[in-house]
Structure 1
Amino acid sequence: MKRAGKFIILLGLVSLFADMTYEGARGITGPFLLMLGASATMVGFASGLGELSGYIIRLFSGYVADKTRRYWLITFTGYIMNLVVVPLLALAFNWQLAILLIILERIGKGFRTPARDVMLSYATSQVGHGWGFGIHEALDQVGAILGPLMVFLVLYFRGGYRTGFTFLGLPAVFAILTLVVAYFLFPSPHELEVGRAEPLRSPGSVFWLYLGVVCLIGVGYADFPLIGYHFKNVMLFGDFMIPVLYALAMLVDALSALLFGKFFDYYGFKVMIVSVILSSLFAPLAFLGGVLAAVFGVILWGVGMGAQESIMRAAIARIIPSDRRGSAYGIFNLLFGFSWFLGSLFMGIFYEISLLALVIFSVIMQLLAVPLLIRIEKSV
């Protein structure tokens, strides 16, 4: 168990440094593209295409991971593509090249995710899938907080965007070095897996039912930029407070990932039912409430994010045998990303029509996942 825990921590540290790199960059790529002369349409197109490409590639890389079992090769390839392009943005002197690098960063992230999650699932079988993925998500979110703060310090001391991208090369190097250490210490992570005592009789049917849950939650979950847009639009918070609220959500994300992950190992899908009900309340609080209600809405939004990034991934490891997990993670990520994209689009349209309609849509879509989760709970 100690070896499994060490492996989880090592991959968590890789994610911490990686998140410092690309989350730090994402905070300044918009204004950087504006400085290079890109239009708002091109910025939106690049962001959307990058995210969509990253989710589509997961289906392919997950299938390749299952067929080849070359988990480390796929993981290294994805991380190098994901991270090297960030400091290279400092050398981009036109917006076309910058957009290409931004899209490549998202593709790299998508390419390595299923293979990395399969390796994590091997180790988490010893410590508990929920707890293991929760630890990984918590470390991941620490990086998501530190990266933007690092860029903030660079800009505060009058460094430019290019200087910021250059400094982000430091955590990128640490991420790759930590990944190298993990590889040499654990060249065969599949040896960490302990067998399931009672395999599911029909994992396929449960898996597709679970994907229905994933799609409903994804469609009903508003992205934080829309929440931040609302806060500024109605002048609920000043500009400087919105990033602080996002940092609060990321902190709650990290803590709830650990909490729900641990409970998931003991109580299974009942914990996911509780997390869905709690997080469904973020929309009425954030979009219809005052200052205090909005803060609680952001906290519950962070609770939902923590649950999604820990127990939603852990559930795949509980449902699917190890020889098919790469493909399962690929399908899971593709459908969740596409559902999130559609939900964000719908809620953006609803926002222009009626805040109440947006809230009703968000709450209903998430709560529709509860009956499906109850059926899954009875099947596992």
Structure 2
Amino acid sequence: MGAVRSRSALSAWRFVAVFGVVSLLADFVYEGARSITGPLLASLGATGLVVGVVTGIGEAAALALRLVSGPLADRTRRFWAWTVAGYALTLITVPLLGVASALWVACSLVIAERVGKAVRSPAKDTLLSHAASVTGRGRGFAVHEALDQVGAVIGPLTVAGVLAVTGNDYAPALGVLALPGAAALALLLWLRIRVPHPDSYEDPAASAVSTDGVAAQRFWELPPRFWLYCGFTAITMSGFTTFGLLSFHMVTHGLLSAAAVPVVYAAAMAADALAALASGYSYDRFGGKSLAALPLLSSMVVLFAFSGNATMVVVGALLWGAAVGIQESTLRAVVADLVTAPRRASAYGVFAAGLGAASAAGGALVGWLYEISTGTVVVVVVAIQLVALLSMFTIGLPRGAAAAAPRPAETPYLPP
């Protein structure tokens, strides 16, 4: 019996790393596809309006549906089922895009891929948060995000290479993504078998679940500090620009060629990964005050990225990537420290939906201000980020390792 338990052991760090590789492979697939969604739909007869509507619906579904999938994951407690189903939907629909011969089919598949993200994200983040309670919330989410971004870089580059070799044939370019997709699903199922109950990593008192209590609560009954935290993230994201606008500025002002933009984007994704690691370690050491880096970075992005100098614009893009790295890692880690396990998937659903809505508003606001003048963008964005910075200190965020109680010792997962 002891031998069986030993073979089944999986440390929290190994769980985080394997889950990170799953995300790496999944990002390889769907970021590869998203890099050519517009041209693919255009090749099937789509107009610019159709592309905008379809991708907009997809992004809205990826965010808004988390308000449903999060609470449902909490109610059912079937986090693995939601995670596997969401990944499967994404990883199956992407290769099918390459063989879609009708525009309506391709549009449906594009939206379905985004629905898959909505289905899995709250449950996936909850599973990850259990192991991260041992590794350190910041570090656990940071390592996961860093691995995730490796796939975000490799995927588009692979698709671009296949298109170059095949003369812009979308079928093999998207078909090749079936290989990392199958590997991601296989690895995810292996992890689910090895660690059926990741909540065992977390302190039993924190992860204890009362089904009746969960069913009786609604997502708006989440802790007040969580809502204050959502307010801080909404403020800072309402003054954050999109890479689309950055690339528009690069090309229309003759600072970089269109061919150079994907290279800059790949570099920004590398900055994303490095910033996630630095931010995660900083959060575990210094606590919530380390999040002050986000509004500061967001202010620096517009100062550099909307200049008339190519070097400064590239630096601005790298700062943009660093800010995204914090958003995708440490912001999610804090949620796990503010909300106990029984309500965590609901919290992740609400948080993601709010973050997405604020991001959309921020993109529209900065785009509108850009049409007025880049100076106006700088003044307004810096003012917004100053408000965000001040609001952050009213929340009462976690204090960090120096002031917090000791974390549990790193022990392997052993099936109950």
Give the alignment's TM-score, normalised by structure 1: 0.95
Shift, 1:8, TM fit: 0.6
Shift, 1:379, TM fit: 7.4
CA 1:251–1:196: 2 relative to 1, 3 Å: farther
Residue-by-residue CA offset, 1:50-95 (whole Å, 9 max, x unaligned): 0001101111110011111100000011111111100011221122
SS of the counterpart of 2:258? coil
Shift, 1:157, TM fit: 1.1
Residue-by-residue CA offset, 1:19-38 (whole Å, 9 max, x unaligned): 00000001111111111110
Coordinate RMSD, CA, aligned = 1.7
SS of the counterpart of 1:210? helix
Distance 1:51 1:342 in 2: 13
Residue-by-residue CA offset, 1:304-346 (whole Å, 9 max, x unaligned): 1111111100000111111110110000000000111111122
CA 1:124–1:379: 2 relative to 1, 3 Å: closer
* 1:83-98 → structure 2 map (5 Å cutoff): 83-98=91-106
SS of the counterpart of 2:193? helix
Shift, 1:290, TM fit: 1.0
* 1:341 corresponds to 2:367: no
SS of the counterpart of 1:271? helix
* 1:262 corresponds to 2:281: yes
* 1:12-91 → structure 2 map (5 Å cutoff): 12-91=20-99
> In terms of mean alpha carbon deviation, does 126-135 or 352-361 score higher?
352-361
* 1:229-240 → structure 2 map (5 Å cutoff): 229-240=248-259
Shift, 1:283, TM fit: 0.8
Distance 1:378 1:55 in 2: 25
1:321 to 311, 331, 340: 340
2:229 to 210, 223, 240: 210
Shift, 1:2, TM fit: 6.2
Shift, 1:196, TM fit: 7.8
Q: Give ranges in structure 2 of 5+ residues lacking alignment.
A: 1-8, 207-220, 400-416
Structure whose CA Rg is larger: 2
| Structure 1 counterpart of 2:405 | none
Distance 2:361 2:61 in 1: 15
| Structure 2 counterpart of 1:297 | 316
Would you say the 8 A contact 2:237–2:355 is kept in 1?
yes
Would you say the 8 A contact 1:264–1:272 is kept in 2?
yes
> In terms of mean alpha carbon deviation, does 102-111 or 159-168 score higher?
159-168
* 1:367 corresponds to 2:386: yes
Residue-by-residue CA offset, 1:195-252 (whole Å, 9 max, x unaligned): 689xxxx971211110001111221111101100111010111112111111111001
| Structure 1 counterpart of 2:166 | 158
* 1:119 corresponds to 2:127: yes
SS of the counterpart of 1:376? coil
Residue-by-residue CA offset, 1:120-176 (whole Å, 9 max, x unaligned): 000000010000000000000000000011101101212511111111111111110
Would you say the 8 A contact 1:268–1:377 is kept in 2?
no
SS of the counterpart of 1:375? coil
SS of the counterpart of 2:65? helix
Distance 2:285 2:236 in 1: 23
Distance 1:207 1:342 in 2: 21
| Structure 1 counterpart of 2:300 | 281
2:145 to 118, 137, 147: 137
Would you say the 8 A contact 1:123–1:189 is kept in 2?
yes
CA 1:247–1:379: 2 relative to 1, 3 Å: closer
Give the alignment's TM-score, normalised by structure 2: 0.87
* 1:99 corresponds to 2:110: no
Distance 1:64 1:42 in 2: 32
Percent sequence identity over matched residues? Answer: 41
Distance 1:129 1:61 in 2: 23
Distance 1:357 1:2 in 2: 53
Distance 2:288 2:398 in 1: 10
> Relative to total residues, which structure has the larger helix share, 1 or 2?
1
Distance 2:154 2:33 in 1: 12
SS of the counterpart of 2:295? helix
Q: Give ranges in structure 1 of 5+ residues lacking alignment.
A: none
1:220 to 226, 239, 242: 239
Would you say the 8 A contact 1:203–1:319 is kept in 2?
no
Report the residue type matching 1:231 in the other structure: M
2:183 to 174, 187, 195: 174
CA 1:306–1:195: 2 relative to 1, 3 Å: farther
CA 1:106–1:218: 2 relative to 1, 3 Å: same
Would you say the 8 A contact 1:77–1:112 is kept in 2?
yes
CA 1:84–1:203: 2 relative to 1, 3 Å: closer
Count of aligned pairs: 376
Shift, 1:373, TM fit: 1.2
| Structure 1 counterpart of 2:411 | none
Report the residue type matching 1:288 in the other structure: S
